[in-house]
Amino acid sequence: MASTSAVDARIDTELKDRAESILAQLGISPSEAMQMFYSQIVLHNGIPFDLALPKPKPAAIATMSREELNAELAKGIDSLKTGSYTADAVNSILGRELDL
């Protein structure tokens, strides 16, 4: 049998409880999940997922000041002067910018 070592980690109690509830539904113990995570770190030679700040979501109009709203509307008017886009082109651009 392979030798084992303990890993001590401090995490938020609510996060731990929520994660362990999901693991229990999957039939996986916290120790097994940590073993999987460490195995993926070794396999990927790093963290097995992208570490990046989330892309900003479009601001809701209700949260904007009048000045911010006017600035955004002015950008839209300026873009109309430079040309127009098809609905498909707009969807494509928004999809790239918002990672949709």
Q: How many residues make up the chain in this entry?
A: 100
Whether residue 53 has pLDDT greater than 90 = no
Token output for 6: 């303990």
The pLDDT, as a whole number, for residue 80 is 76
| Better-predicted residue by pLDDT, 32 or 62 | 32
Nearest to 76 by CA among 86, 84, 87, 65: 84
Residue 43 has pLDDT above 90, yes or no: yes
Q: What is the pLDDT of residue 1?
A: 61
Contact call for residues 26 and 15 (beta carbons, < 8 A): no
What are the boundaries of each domain within the chain? Answer: 13-44, 61-97
In the predicted structure, residue 14 carries a pLDDT above the cut 90: yes
Task: Show the tokens assigned to 43.
Answer: 């396999």
